[in-house]
């Protein structure tokens, strides 16, 4: 079955599993969300994050509470996705999760954000905005200069 992705410019408030941004550049993988919904009226969307290998048809659950359209590297096997994180001291915010399909792992970085809207992924740099609707600030995130909180292997798929 061939996936048909619609041409859109998704935002953290308006995206779906058929947006073009879900599909990797070479068409080998796709990001999917399960149970995608608002966590409060007018809030960004959230859902269960999966990555699917379109050649094998298998998919792996990555994270329970993710939200926002992904951004893919040009080499087709690395994606960055905002996830929702509840800290014991600071309440709810977002962190950056990077899925490396070549290494079969994902990494969650320590930095906490309000609402991420990712735009580009070139080399080790991810650009976008933090909190695009309320006091936006530019995002220029270097994967090599920021500390990882933890790494986890992705189940084989």
**Is the residue at 126 inside a domain?**
yes
Let me know if residue 15 belongs to a domain: no
pLDDT score, position 133: 73
Domain count, the chain: 1
- Residue 94 counted as domain residue: yes
Residue ranges making up the domain that contains 138: 20-153
CA dihedral 63, 148, 151, 29 (to 10 degrees): 60
Within a domain: residue 99? Answer: yes
pLDDT score, position 4: 52
In a domain, 71, yes or no: yes
Q: How far apart are CA 94 and CA 113, in angstroms?
A: 5
Looking at residue 70, its pLDDT comes to 96
In this predicted model, what pLDDT tens digit does every residue of 6-43 receive, in sequence order? Answer: 445 688 888 999 999 999 999 999 999 999 888 777 77
Q: What is the pLDDT of residues 88-144, one digit of tens each?
A: 555 578 999 999 999 999 999 999 999 999 999 999 999 999 986 778 899 999 999
8 in any annotated domain = no
CB 68 within 8 A of CB 118: yes
Buried b (16+ CB within 10 A) or exposed e, 115-152: bbbbeebeeeebebbbbbeeeeeebebebeeeeeeeee
Decide if 12 is inside a domain: no
pLDDT score for 3: 53
Whether residue 2 lies inside any domain: the answer is: no
Confidence grade of residue 83 (pLDDT, cut at 50, 70, 90)? very high
**Which residues contact residue 104 at a Cβ distance below 8 angstroms, ignoring those fewer than 6 apart?**
153, 154, 156
């Amino acid at each position: 079955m061939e996936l048909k992705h619609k041409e859109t410019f998704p935002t953290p408030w308006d995206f779906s599993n058929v947006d073009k941004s879900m599909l990797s550049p070479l068409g080998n993988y796709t990001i999917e969300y399960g149970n995608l919904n608002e966590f409060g009226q007018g809030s960004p969307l959230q859902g269960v994050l999966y990555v699917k290998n379109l050649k094998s048809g298998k998919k792996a659950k990555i994270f329970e509470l993710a939200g926002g359209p992904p951004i893919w590297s040009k080499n087709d096997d690395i994606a960055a996705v905002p996830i929702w994180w509840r800290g014991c001291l600071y309440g709810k915010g977002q962190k950056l999760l990077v899925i490396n399909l070549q290494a079969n792992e994902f990494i969650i970085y320590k930095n906490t954000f309000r609402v991420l809207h990712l735009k580009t992924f070139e080399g080790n740099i991810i650009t976008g905005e933090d909190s695009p609707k309320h006091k936006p600030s530019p995002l220029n995130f270097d994967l090599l200069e920021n500390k990882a909180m933890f790494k986890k292997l992705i189940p084989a798929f």
